[in-house]
Amino acid sequence: MEQQSSSLFPTYARYPITIVKGKGSRLWDDTGKEYLDLMSGLAVTSLGHCPEAVKQALVAQLDELWHVSNLFHIPNQEKLAGLLTANSCADRVFFCNSGAEANEAAIKAARRYHQKVLNTGRYEIITFQQSFHGRTLATLTATGQAKVQEGFLPLPEGFVYAPFNDAEALEGYITDKTCAIMLEMVQAEGGVIVADPAFVQEVKRLCEKHNLLLIVDEIQTGMGRTGKLFAHEHYGIEPDIFTVAKAIASGFPMGAMLGKEKLAEAFTAGSHGSTFGGTPIAMAAAIATVETIVGDKLADRAEELGRYVTEQLREKLGGHPLVNEVRGKGLIIGIGCKEPVADLIAAIHARGVLVVTAGPNVIRLLPSLLVTKEELDHGIEVIAQVLAERTAAV
Ligand X SMILES: *Cc1c(COP(=O)(O)O)cnc(C)c1O
According to the binding rule CB under 6 A, does residue 219 interact with ligand X? yes
Q: Is 245 in the site for ligand X (CB under 6 A)?
A: yes
Total chain residues near ligand X (CB under 6 A): 15
**CB contact at 8 A, 227 and 234:** yes
Residue 100 within binding range of ligand X, rule CB under 6 A: yes
Please say which residue, 134 or 277, places its beta carbon nearer to ligand X: 134
**Sign of the CA dihedral 188, 126, 299, 79?**
negative
Residue 216 binding ligand X, by CB under 6 A: no
Q: Is 104 in the site for ligand X (CB under 6 A)?
A: no
Binding mask 116-145 for ligand X (x = CB under 6 A): ----------------xxx-----------
Map the footprint of ligand X across residues 296-335, applying CB under 6 A.
Answer: none
Piece of 65-73, 94-102, 301-309, 369-377 that binds ligand X (CB under 6 A): 94-102
Candidate residues 98, 279, 357, 361; the one interacting with ligand X per rule CB under 6 A: 98
CB 219, min distance to ligand X, A = 4
Under rule CB under 6 A, residue 188 binds ligand X:
yes
Q: How far is the CB of 221 from ligand X (least distance, A)?
A: 7
Select 40 or 220, whichever has its Cβ closest to ligand X.
Answer: 220
**C-beta of 100 vs 212, nearer to ligand X:** 100
Q: Is residue 364 at the binding interface for ligand X, with CB under 6 A as the rule?
A: no
> Considering only residues 37, 124, 202, 217, which one is a binding residue for ligand X as defined by CB under 6 A?
217
CB of 231 to ligand X, least distance (A): 10
Residue from 48, 51, 99, 359 binding ligand X (CB under 6 A): 99
Q: Which is nearer to ligand X, 178 or 220 (CB)?
A: 220
- In the bound complex, which residue of the shown chain has the CB atom lying closest to ligand X? 99
Summarize as ranges the residues that interact with ligand X (CB under 6 A): 98-100, 103, 132-134, 184, 188-189, 217, 219-220, 245-246
